[in-house]
Amino acid sequence: MTATIVVGTQWGDEGKGRVVDWLAAQADIVARYAGGDNAGHTVTVGGERFALHLIPSGILYPDTLCVLGAGMVVNPARLIAEIDGLTERGVDASPSRLKLSVGAHLILPYHIALDGAMELQRGKKALGTTRRGIGPAYADKAARAGLRAGMMQDPERFADRVYEAVKAKNAILTGVYGQPALDAEAIAAQFHDYARRLAPYLADVSLLINERLAGGQRLLCEGAQGTLLDLDHGTYPYVTSSSATVGGALTSLGFGPRYVEEVIGVAKAYTTRVGAGPFPTELTDELGDRLRGTGANPWDEYGTTTGRPRRCGWLDAVILRYAARVNGLTGLALTKLDILSGFETVKIAVAYDYRGERLEHFPTEADVLARCRPIYEELPGWSEDLTTARRWEALPPAARRYVERVEALTGVPVRLIGVGPGREQTIVR
């Protein structure tokens, strides 16, 4: 039993990248299983900051094999840019270390154009997508009209398919959305080049992973986004279009549950959300501004991918209990605990009030959630700076009580605590 799955427990941006980076030290393979370049992971190693969108942060270890699963949607231009960016900084991102599943779907320029056009059409009901073409690419996958990475094995034939696909989508872009047509010939030529670049990275990921698991290697599965952005289990329609929860790992990577040893849920010590949709513990006052930060620090609450300010609020234990249930969490990693220093008191939502009724379980219907008011428990805050703490005992008693309360409210042990962006700023329990 050698697979560990890391999932986000909130609305993404929980700090999965740094947790994966930390756990990757003990892994032979790190596999990303969902989403595309809508995600953004920031990892700080030796004071150097790496912002990754597609490639698992395990790439920053010298001997780890990194994998992109079939459940992903990949923009080839972005993947190539990320490979080149890492290579320039001396990180080996060659095909011997990085594999792209033949089953992953590709994001084409028309997906991005359609994402924007559909958001525009939604008007006030816009979802606040990252406009990276994610939803339209997954829609094509489900409609069995997508282009898969495996097609890049034959660049000539692939370019023909791209040409045909762009022409077909142009009819929709111009006819339905009144958008300009895309240049099919230019895009086909561009994708021909991408195919030549990426073909050496293609692999049968399920075969590769199962062979290695059978050989005793350790697999770390890196989720993107979070439980509440999951297409099935999130706050639909304010979700992304992939399976961000635990099942997505098995589907995407093609291995069975018997190998799964641990499911680690990453939770920020407070809650954030980007994009539209209900958010019960949101703070729209100066407390929220304080959690968000000014944007001057790389760890302030502004999107890695879009730079959008994140909506901030208190920790919500109703959400964490839900994430524990949906994912079968065996442990929690609580990140950014240091940010809560300096608050006189800190609050945790323990239940919701829905029209006078007390709800203990998270309601996934967006309309119900929008009418839920958090029922808070208030705990004493702490003023000490936590960023230099390296052991549980070094944390102030009030911070320890906060962590223990999270464990009691969720029934899941907190295994890791993040007290800063650095690899070393992690407390293991």
Active site residues: 13, 41
Min dist. Cβ of residue 129 to ligand IMP (A): 4
- Cβ pair 312, 283 in contact under 8 A: yes
Q: Which residues pair with 357 in a beta bridge?
A: 354
Angle in degrees, CA 258, 260, 266, rounded to 5: 155
Name which of 130 and 170 has its Cβ closer to ligand IMP.
130
Query: Can you give the binding site for ligand IMP, defined by CB under 6 A?
Result: 11-13, 38-40, 127-130, 132, 134-135, 224-225, 229, 238, 240-241, 274-275
In the complex with ligand IMP, which residue's Cβ is closer, 76 or 275? Answer: 275
Please name which of 347, 375, 348, 370 lies closest in space to residue 359, comparing C-alpha atoms: 375
Q: How far is the CB of 271 from ligand IMP (least distance, A)?
A: 12
Instruction: Please state, in angstroms and rounded to a whole number, the distance separating the CA atoms of residues 222 and 204.
Output: 18
**Residues 127, 238 contacting (CB under 8 angstroms):** yes
CB of 421 vs ligand IMP, minimal distance in Å: 17
> Which is nearer to ligand IMP, 11 or 382 (by Cβ)?
11
CB atoms within 10 A of CB 94: 12
Among 231, 228, 324, residue whose Cα is nearest residue 274: 228
CA dist., res. 418 & res. 285, Å (int) = 26
Structure tokens at 39: 């995600």
DSSP-based three-state secondary structure for 58: helix
Q: Least Å distance between CB 395 and ligand IMP?
A: 28
Report the phi/psi class of residue 246: left, alpha or beta, with left for phi > 0 and alpha for psi in -120 to 50: alpha
Q: Of 115 and 338, which CB lies nearer to ligand IMP in the complex structure?
A: 115
What does the block give as tokens for 202? Answer: 């293609």
Nearer to ligand IMP, 188 or 224 (CB): 224
Minimum CB distance to ligand IMP smaller for 225 or for 245: 225
Q: Which is nearer to ligand IMP, 225 or 281 (CB)?
A: 225
Strand partners, 263: 5
Torsion sign across C-alpha atoms 292, 294, 295, 296: negative
Q: Between the CA of residue 39 and those of 22, 35, 42, 73, what are the distances in Å?
A: 18, 7, 10, 11
Beta bridge partners of 68: 32, 100
Amino acid identity for residue 169 in this structure: K
Distance (Å, whole) CA 29 – CA 68:
11
Residue type, 373: R
CB of 33 to ligand IMP, least distance (A): 14
CA distance 367 to 278: 8
Compute the distance between CA of residue 114 and CA of residue 117 in angstroms, rounded to an integer.
5
Pick the closer one to ligand IMP by CB: 130 or 335: 130
The H or E element containing residue 414 is: strand 414-418
Min. distance of Cβ 127 from ligand IMP in angstroms? 5
Is residue 339 within 8 A of residue 381, CB to CB? The reply is: no
Nearest distance from C-beta of residue 290 to ligand IMP, angstroms: 20
